[in-house]
Structure 1
């Protein structure tokens, strides 16, 4: 009567051994092969990156939950640009400041300024990119500055760079303006030229930095009417027309080669933050008078830039972590300044936003970028 039990046990052990062997074999594959994972979410296929995920947690997947203990600072922070201080500019609602991102299956730690500064002691962290990255830099500085005495903090400027110094920690939190990463120069007849294969003029500022956080997408996706250049150049070839995504891929590839050839992963940590979502009329959205996050989404207009970025990172030797904030920002049409980029008059308020310029790209602070910095702190 014991024989069937022995056969069952033998079969179970054989299956378990096979599954273990299969799993171990997969784990020996090139880690780069696992970078691009196709995820189906509400009819939208999204590229996710799981390489180097901290403790196996994918922060890019989750939901927004209301948390009355937020925000972690207020709009009186002296380092905020007036265009993002929506409360000071007269925005009547404030719930957009109180949403926390809850990843699926794990916890995103609340930002702890002293813990962050402790991790960054005697180090430089530099955020490189466009005005959305400046948005994030201001958020990060406001998150830490409250625990530093006034006499022990300062901001310095050096050309396209600015730095917040926490002197007691010998830490600098820096921002470097390079919206395309590659070089944008004036040519003959004052024409603006994007040099798709030149980067050193910007990259020389990145040497010696301990943590580099990059973004670059918004300028590449500008329409012809709002483009910041007239021509592309590659080598000696002047190019009038090129697909925006091909140009983006070429520019990112130049950046990737520089990182591979010039940075040491034992010395420098590199993070690339994905494109944050715009909710403007061109993309079928209007952010004016939006007061809550969306519970789900059906359109992801930034899928193509995210796919291009994934492809470039997958081919790199240097271990770059992709911080995917695209999904979480798609849901936050309520978080933009909209018409509250500035103080508006009573007459303008009566128009209920009609006829006023509206910013549906940048983010009110406190607000959404604070969560990106909670993610950043967890990654370091």
Structure 2
């Protein structure tokens, strides 16, 4: 049974030499972002060199696809001295959102707040601006080129699924009709891009280690049991993936709710995110953030024998109390009824995020880091 005072420090991975592992741990509210990397082989891609390499598709052996090198300009490179996680949300209704809800058919009902009746769309027009530097604007073609002949897998719970769907929506606009497919093989979803011989995947594994909540749809149990030293079952499904992005947090909390109420939701009703339309201003750490767990996690990562990056996006996400689905989402697979929406104290969801929205920024950060690594390789 889960020890409430412990974290999964016994978890082991089996990295291979030729892949990058990205561990992503968003907090349920603020979305704590843990990004760890093992360098992926990019020997055939040299930035700023105009060369053309023919690559074979592993799914269509007889077809060849032209590889176009990525030209990374100086203004797309994040300065080494810049902490992209310190900054502020700025209003931008010119270049944001990066895509429209009604133009991306891959979003599940849980995150389509506009379609579900949310009256405002202001949450879609906030851009994260780091202090002293800029994030590169997301370029779908460059992202796909970096994913050419590779697999990107997001591993975690429904919050992680939101990041997976965000990434699919960010790239799907530049993919030709008929050149992509979606495969659902629970507990996985696979978005396959044929032209780039690439896939973006999602894998349900809320604890990362083996647990009795691993079923993709039937995971609500009274007492959750985990095997702290067992990752083998899941590892078999992510073995061979080039880029792994892990996420977990709320599943390790000892209470079934996040402690983010009262003064943090000043504009809300009955102490939750209902009716919130503006981000929090100024320096802020939400009460849902456990800084002790963050410290332990950082210590564990520093002891690992692989190159792991900790990208803590908790604080920047916790400013966005306006970005949650509130009463415009689902509960147990069904949209809330009108009667349920009238009782936000009982039914408002202040954990999941509307899309387009905050998870797009997580992917912009991921894109920026991958682009930086690509240029430096």
TM over 0.5: yes
Deviations, residues 228-265 of structure 1 (Å, cap 9, x unaligned): xxxxxxxxxxxxxxxxxxxxxxxxxxxxxxxxxxxxxx
Residue 62 of structure 1, aligned match among 87, 100, 103: 87
Which residue of 2 is the match for residue 296 of structure 1? 282
Aligned pair partner of 1:203 in 217, 225, 235:
235
- For residues 50 and 181 of structure 1, the distance between their equivalents in structure 2, rounded to whole angstroms, comes to 15
The alpha carbon displacement at 1:356 in A equals 4.9
| Match of residue 248, structure 2, among 184, 196, 216 | 216
2:316 paired residue number: 328
Distance 1:182 1:308 in 2: 18
Deviation, 1:371, is 0.5
Question: 1:222: how far off?
Answer: 4.7
Query: Residues 121 and 170 of structure 1 are in contact (CA less than 8 Å); yes or no, is this contact kept in structure 2?
Result: yes
Of structures 1 and 2, the one with the larger relative CO (CA 8 A, separation 6+) is: 2
Q: Say if 1:366 and 1:78 are closer, same or farther in 2 by CA, change over 3 A.
A: same
SS of equivalent to 1:337:
strand
Contact 1:49–1:310, Cα closer than 8 Å, also in 2: no
Deviation track 1:90-112 (CA, whole Å, cap 9, x = no partner) reads 11111100101011111111111
Alpha carbons 2:152, 2:244 under 8 Å: kept? yes
CA contact (8 A) 1:185 1:195 kept: no
Aligned to 1:313: 301
Shift of 1:73: 1.1
Give the aligned partner of residue 225 of structure 2: 193
Q: Larger radius of gyration, structure 1 or 2?
A: 1
Please, which runs of 5 or more residues in structure 1 have no aligned partner?
A: 1-45, 227-277
1:358 aligned to 2:370?
no
Instruction: For residue 372 of structure 1, report the CA deviation from its aligned partner.
Output: 0.5
**1:153-180 Cα deviation digits (max 9, x unpaired):** 1111333221101111111001111110
1:37-64 deviation digits (Å, cap 9, x = unpaired): xxxxxxxxx9999999953132111110
What is the TM-score with the length of structure 2 in the denominator? 0.67
2: CA distance between counterparts of 1:157 and 1:47? 26
Partner of 1:10: none
Pick from 262, 268, 281 the counterpart of residue 261 of structure 2.
Answer: 281
Greater share of helix residues, 1 or 2?
Answer: 1
Q: Give the TM-score, by structure 1 length.
A: 0.67
1:361 aligns to what SS in structure 2? strand
Distance 1:47 1:203, change over 3 A: closer
Q: How many angstroms apart in 2 are the aligned matches of 1:134 and 1:377?
A: 17
Instruction: Measure, in 2, the Cα distance between the counterparts of 1:344 and 1:193.
Output: 29
Q: Is the 8 A contact 2:33 2:313 kept in 1?
A: no
1:338 aligns with 2:329: no
**8 Å Cα contact 1:279/1:361 also seen in 2:** no
Mapped partners of 2:339, 2:143: distance in 1: 45
